[in-house]
Amino acid sequence: MANQEDHFKNLISHCKEYGFIFQSSEIYDGLSAVYDYGQNGAELKNNIRTFWYKAMTQLNENIVGIDAAIFMHPTTWKASGHVDAFSDPLIDNKDSKKRYRADQLIEGAVEKIEEKINKEVEKAAKRFGETFDAAMFRSTNARVVEYQQKIDAVNARFKKAQEENDMEELRQIIIDLEIACEVSGSRNWTEVRQFNLMFSTQLGAVAGDASTIYLRPETAQGIFVNYLNVQKTGRMKIPFGIAQTGKAFRNEIVARQFIFRMREFEQMEMQFFIRPGTQTEWYNHWKETRMKWHRALGFPETKYRFHDHLKLAHYADAACDIEFEFPFGFKELEGIHSRTDFDLRNHEAFSGKKLQYFDPDYTGPQNSELRKTQTDDDWKDNHSYIPYVIETSIGLDRMFLAILSHSLKEEKLDDGSERAVLNLPPFLAPVKAAVFPLMSKDGLPEKAREIMDLLKYDHNCVYEEKDNIGKRYRRQDAIGTPYCITVDHQTLEDNTVTIRERDSMQQERVSIDKLAAIIDERVSLKSALKRIV
């Protein structure tokens, strides 16, 4: 873990040193949990966004994209449940004054017990060697069974307390688990209070409750309120999806771990509208499809896992996360939620506008509330319903962090020197190729400029002639440039250049006529997209 901590610190300074991420308003000492993307970060972020957006809209004929405003009518957030329920339980340590999320304290304590179990299993595996049966050990070893019972008991209390909004019980669980503040070491806790995470502001010049609006805490609602507009103008047939990327804002209680949890961040969300009753099938479809998208990056499969939600959000009938192994452990990267007709049903109720879909082959209740009490027979002549929704929701910044944390490597080279290299999937790299004249004389710069002109209309390329070639390679390695093209004296004679590949550092000599096609094939998004379908 110490190593991972160092790796994480190293990553944060690498991001700053190479123009990926800066603290917001750094000259004023920064603003807590808000970050700016620099020249390389903005490119990488754009490429990740494009990869997501194209995978959604280009690979699926029935998914279209929109770009809704950040400000929305305030009733939106009443209908969605955010005004009443989008809050986190907050608790302070009286001695250190440090603020925590009560749910995260409990989850952290449970994780610690899980770690103890894992240690026991590892120890036993070493002792018993090949004949070791982990499942058997877990179900029979007295100590492990005791730990597991403790976890189950805590989880059961935790789930109930969350469902019943029982803040006292949450505090009691923290006391019973003997959780101490990491700063003061004391167990001197305040009461647990609910804290709404939405930022509010005023629209126009008139102050007062009537003009209070919110910065959207998720992009999803912009999709729901446009459901009918898109369905009608795009003549969409169910099942179909609407995708959107954009900023979201949450006044997080504990914002930390760099860009993992920010107060201003970007989401990439897709809402897939389906017939009631088909949600399990589509939920499984999107779980699988989203995992394929992640795997198209070529990272080890063991970096990802599914985690089913213990407590379902107020709108969901099934939900899971795709977790990624960050330097600080497995954490949520993306959520996949079966949201039923919760959102559209509420928007229908609050707006008074019908948000139903006419489906001639459907016979059944109009919405999920009626489904609970009535049978399909009661609705033989009904062919309209409020669609159910499967949502996939991923944080662009979190994806950025996942990619960077896996790609940054410190390598010792054969000659004893060291290099920092970002082995990003080439299609995501901020710069696809760097073009170098070996020396800045003898007509080499002019020839190198010709190569820039050959490539720059298709890809983001850079031209560099400062410093010796070794230094120039290192700078490109550190920002993840997959190919460096060098123009030397031989180029002037036979029209060939060397291409040096970032990871292997191997060089090959190729004819300039073939250069554009070679680079194109190796850095294009196309092959990554092909891995998804």
214, 244, 293, 334: which one binds ligand ATP (CB under 6 A)? 334
| CB-based contacts of 510, cutoff 8 Å, min separation 6 | 496, 497, 498, 499, 518
Assess 394 for contact with ligand ATP (CB under 6 A): yes
92, 252, 458, 520: which one binds ligand ATP (CB under 6 A)? 252
92, 332, 464, 465: which one binds ligand ATP (CB under 6 A)? 332
* Segment lying near ligand ATP (by CB under 6 A), choices 19-27, 329-337, 371-379, 505-513: 329-337
> Which position's Cβ is nearest ligand ATP?
395
Burial 421-440 (b: 16+ CB within 10 A, else e): bbbbbbbbbbbbbbbbbbee
8 Å CB contact between 452 and 465: no
* Least Å from the CB of residue 128 to ligand ATP: 38
Pairing outcome for strands 433-437 and 461-463: parallel
Which CB atom, from 104 or from 384, has the smaller least distance to ligand ATP?
104
* Segment lying near ligand ATP (by CB under 6 A), choices 183-191, 288-296, 330-338, 414-422: 330-338
Which CB atom, from 267 or from 279, has the smaller least distance to ligand ATP?
267
Decide: helix, strand or coil at residue 482: coil
55, 79, 333, 448: which one binds ligand ATP (CB under 6 A)? 333
| Radius of gyration for the chain, computed over Cα atoms and rounded to the nearest angstrom | 27
* Least Å from the CB of residue 397 to ligand ATP: 5
* Least Å from the CB of residue 316 to ligand ATP: 10
Which CB atom, from 87 or from 226, has the smaller least distance to ligand ATP?
87
The total of other beta-carbon atoms located within 10 Å of residue 194's CB is 13
244, 245, 271, 393: which one binds ligand ATP (CB under 6 A)? 393
Assess 267 for contact with ligand ATP (CB under 6 A): yes
Assess 364 for contact with ligand ATP (CB under 6 A): no
* Least Å from the CB of residue 38 to ligand ATP: 18
Assess 397 for contact with ligand ATP (CB under 6 A): yes
Structure tokens belonging to residue 212: 């209070």
Which CB atom, from 227 or from 249, has the smaller least distance to ligand ATP?
249
Of 512, 434, 516, residue with least CA distance to 475: 434
82, 216, 261, 339: which one binds ligand ATP (CB under 6 A)? 261
Assess 92 for contact with ligand ATP (CB under 6 A): no
* Segment lying near ligand ATP (by CB under 6 A), choices 52-60, 149-157, 237-245, 389-397: 389-397
8 Å CB contact between 449 and 399: no
Structure tokens belonging to residue 10: 């190293």
Pairing outcome for strands 483-487 and 433-437: parallel
Q: 151 vs 59, 71, 122, 137, CA distance in Å?
A: 42, 42, 19, 17
- Measured between alpha carbons, how far is 434 from 425 in angstroms, rounded to an integer? 16
Q: 113 vs 120, 239, 326, CA distance in Å?
A: 11, 43, 20
DSSP labels for 313-340?
-TT-SEEEEEEEEETTEEEEEEEEEEEE
* Segment lying near ligand ATP (by CB under 6 A), choices 20-28, 72-80, 286-294, 392-400: 392-400
* Least Å from the CB of residue 48 to ligand ATP: 12
8 Å CB contact between 186 and 244: no
Assess 502 for contact with ligand ATP (CB under 6 A): no
Phi then psi for residue 215, to 5 deg, are: -80, 130
In the sheet that 87-92 helps form, which strands lie side by side, from edge to edge?
99-101, 87-92, 193-196
* Least Å from the CB of residue 259 to ligand ATP: 7
Which CB atom, from 395 or from 425, has the smaller least distance to ligand ATP?
395
Which CB atom, from 162 or from 267, has the smaller least distance to ligand ATP?
267
Assess 335 for contact with ligand ATP (CB under 6 A): yes
Query: What part of residues 195-224 is at the interface with ligand ATP (CB under 6 A)?
Result: 218
* Segment lying near ligand ATP (by CB under 6 A), choices 7-15, 259-267, 339-347, 408-416: 259-267
* Segment lying near ligand ATP (by CB under 6 A), choices 67-75, 164-172, 326-334, 370-378: 326-334
* Least Å from the CB of residue 398 to ligand ATP: 4
Q: What angle do CA 197, 203, 209 make, to 5 degrees?
A: 65
Assess 250 for contact with ligand ATP (CB under 6 A): yes
Assess 398 for contact with ligand ATP (CB under 6 A): yes
- Measured between alpha carbons, how far is 244 from 235 in angstroms, rounded to an integer? 19
Assess 343 for contact with ligand ATP (CB under 6 A): no
- Measured between alpha carbons, how far is 204 from 212 in angstroms, rounded to an integer? 10
Cis before 239? omega within 30: yes
Binding site for ligand ATP (CB under 6 A): 218, 250, 252, 261-262, 265, 267, 332-335, 393-395, 397-398
